């Protein structure tokens, strides 16, 4: 990737050069990612890196690296979390703690407290189960197991590490084992979230960085929700200038291949002190064997912030009404899915059916809740949310703007869903399903990268990916509450999709979510909840 020009002087008018990005043969997100970054940093005519068109092995041939830090003793997470969540009605949140000298509030089933009277360490364990715990196995699904949040190809490159106490090693969360590595230690003070780039197939090239950053947004909202439901106060500390030094302390042999860590400080205890550590760089051969990976790691190391830790506020919008299909929080997490296909086929299945206006209204509300901290909130505010609507009762088919918790019609267009499906990279085939033309709602999160960088500097690149993931996970939960599926995707061809939506050429599509009416595939669902 060519080096961007020097930042423009403070107070100078923003440059508005041409967006000279690859044409129709390269208008997919994977090819355009590094050019959008260069354009945001000030290059008016970015050129595609030489490795953009280098043939890559098919994604299905990729073998992810083994799980980090395998083996050794394990500490089982608390059992019974599912029952606790099932006793808390959706969309109720725990009631405030009673004041000293007053009677304790009602049970969780009456809108009380799911984690009442439990030590903070147990409640943190339940929050981790809520955020990460496998929900089910679908024998017909080529991608297993199913967690409460979406992940590209169900690879789950983002991992959580939990503080083991003073002088003790960090403990790796192993969701499939329902455990933390290591023996029980002091109550945890921190949870670290970081993503492993080498988990994602090399065919995704530079886009691997965005996939990990987006999933960090998914995971941050999932964990925030778990902490909120079990009343664990926490703060988010975004990567600072010395954040890379934390990676080796996690006990990672390949620390160079992981993203700068997010630290969630639990119960106001503050960050765990870290000893100075040497930080190994990528292998010398990486620039030759995988130049895209070397480039995205360099960019990630620039995604640092200078702000103080910010309190986690809420992951749930106010004013939600009861769901007709979801009685409690356990059922909401169980119902979240991305459009099941039968017989181990790929893609998403859906059927055409009109849906109540509540589905769109709820989506707009979930999409209006900002992530914690001023930096992520600023990137969130820079996102533009455009939706193609079809068959929503009381709403005109066409393009709508979702803003401030409401949908605002922009243009009537009954043909937009069909034209979107034509511009999707994985159409209907003998082995793939595609329900975009039947989807009542297809949402696009876009941003003007030049304006984003002027607001937040180059760190805005990571911040907007995290903010988009946060927003998309909220949309996934909204869909589940409305009896719908939600599938985050980035396979739309960007240039023609901009034209369908009415976006300007300098608006980058960060992420899309297809919200559809599920079909009953008849497949088995094996319950994994504990």
The pLDDT of residue 397 = 97
- What letters, b where the CB count within 10 A reaches 16 and e where it falls short, cover 122-139? bbbbbbbbbbbbbbbebe
The pLDDT of residue 184 = 78
The pLDDT of residue 50 = 86
CB 485 within 8 A of CB 329: no
- What letters, b where the CB count within 10 A reaches 16 and e where it falls short, cover 379-415? bbebbbbbbbbbbbeebebbbbbbeebebeeeeebee
CA 392 to CA 352: how far, in whole Å? 11
Please report which helix (H) or strand (E) contains residue 180, including its range. Answer: strand 179-181
Q: Which residues of the chain have pLDDT under 50?
A: 1-18, 99-110
322 token code pair: 């009861």
Instruction: Give every CB contact of residue 193 below 8 A, 6+ residues apart in sequence.
Output: 158, 159, 160, 216, 219, 220, 223, 261, 262, 263, 264
Indicate the pTM of the whole model: 0.92
DSSP calls for 310-343? EE---SS-TTPPPPSS--BHHHHHHH--S---ST
Determine if the peptide bond prior to 91 is cis (ω within 30°).
yes
Q: Would you put residue 497 in left (φ > 0), alpha (ψ -120 to 50) or beta?
A: alpha
Q: Tell me whether the CATH fold assigned to 118-311 matches the one assigned to 329-527.
A: yes
CA 362 to CA 339: how far, in whole Å? 19
Task: Parse the chain into domains and list their residue ranges.
Answer: 118-311, 329-527
- What letters, b where the CB count within 10 A reaches 16 and e where it falls short, cover 439-462? bbbbbbbbbbbbebbbbbbbbbbb
Is the domain 329-527 a CATH 3.40.109.10 member?
yes
CATH number of the structural domain 118-311: 3.40.109.10
Q: Could you identify the residue written with the tokens 């008016």?
A: 44
| Strand bridging mode 507-516 / 432-433 | unpaired
**What secondary structure letter does DSSP report for 447?**
E
Q: Could you identify the residue written with the tokens 């996690």?
A: 250
Three-class SS string for 349-415?
Answer: CCCCCCECHHHHHHHHHHCCCCCCCHHHHHHHHHCEEEEEECCECCCCCEEEEEECCEEEEEEECCC
225 token code pair: 């929700």
CB 155 within 8 A of CB 164: no
The pLDDT of residue 23 = 62
The pLDDT of residue 274 = 54
Closest CA to 495 of 486, 508, 479, 483: 508
């Amino acid at each position: 990737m060519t080096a961007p020009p020097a930042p423009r002087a403070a107070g100078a008018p923003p440059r508005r050069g041409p967006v000279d990005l690859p044409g129709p043969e390269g208008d997919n997100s994977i090819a355009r990612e590094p050019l959008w970054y260069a354009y945001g940093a000030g290059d008016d005519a970015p050129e595609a890196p030489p490795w953009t068109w280098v043939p890559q092995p098919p994604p299905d041939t990729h073998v992810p690296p083994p799980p980090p830090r395998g083996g050794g003793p394990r500490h089982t997470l608390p059992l019974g979390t599912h029952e606790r969540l099932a006793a808390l009605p959706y969309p109720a949140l725990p009631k405030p703690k009673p004041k000293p000298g007053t009677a304790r509030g009602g049970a969780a089933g009456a809108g009380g407290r799911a984690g009442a009277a439990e030590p903070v360490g147990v409640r943190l364990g339940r929050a981790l189960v809520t955020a990460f715990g496998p929900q089910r196995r679908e024998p017909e699904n080529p991608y297993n197991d199913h967690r409460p949040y979406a992940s590209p190809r169900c690879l789950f490159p983002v991992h959580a590490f939990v503080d083991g106490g003073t002088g003790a090693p960090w403990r790796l969360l192993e969701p499939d084992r329902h455990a933390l590595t290591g023996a029980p230690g002091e109550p945890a003070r921190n949870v670290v979230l970081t993503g492993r780039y080498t988990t994602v197939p090399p065919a995704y090239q530079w886009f691997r960085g965005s996939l990990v950053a987006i999933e960090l947004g998914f995971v941050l909202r999932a964990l925030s929700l778990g902490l909120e439901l079990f009343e664990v106060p926490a703060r988010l500390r975004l990567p600072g200038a010395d954040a890379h030094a934390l990676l080796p302390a996690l006990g990672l042999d390949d620390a160079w291949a992981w993203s700068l860590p997010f630290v969630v400080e639990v119960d106001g205890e503050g960050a765990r002190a870290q000893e100075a550590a040497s930080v190994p760089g990528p292998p010398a051969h990486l620039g030759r064997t995988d130049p895209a990976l070397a480039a995205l790691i360099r960019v990630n190391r620039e995604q640092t912030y200078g702000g103080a830790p910010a309190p986690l506020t809420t992951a749930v919008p106010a004013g939600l009404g009861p769901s007709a299909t979801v009685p409690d929080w356990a059922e909401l997490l169980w119902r979240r899915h991305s459009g099941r296909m039968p017989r181990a086929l790929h893609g998403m299945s859906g059927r055409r059916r009109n849906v109540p206006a509540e589905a769109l209204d709820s989506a707009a509300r979930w999409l209006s809740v900002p992530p914690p901290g001023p930096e992520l909130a600023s990137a969130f505010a820079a996102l533009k949310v455009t939706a193609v609507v079809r068959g929503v009762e009381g709403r005109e088919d066409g393009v709508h703007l979702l803003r401030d918790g409401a949908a605002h019609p922009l243009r009537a267009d009954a043909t937009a869903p069909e034209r979107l499906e034509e511009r999707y990279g994985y159409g209907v085939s003998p082995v793939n399903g595609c329900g975009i033309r039947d989807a009542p709602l297809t949402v696009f999160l876009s941003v003007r990268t030049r304006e984003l960088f002027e607001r937040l500097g180059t760190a805005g690149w990571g911040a907007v990916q995290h903010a988009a993931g946060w927003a998309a996970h909220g949309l996934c939960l909204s869909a589940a509450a409305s009896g719908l599926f939600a599938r985050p995707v980035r396979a739309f061809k960007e240039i023609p999709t901009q034209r369908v939506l009415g976006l300007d050429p300098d608006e980058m599509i960060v992420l899309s979510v297809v919200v559809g009416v599920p079909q009953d595939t008849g497949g088995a669902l094996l319950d994994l909840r504990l």
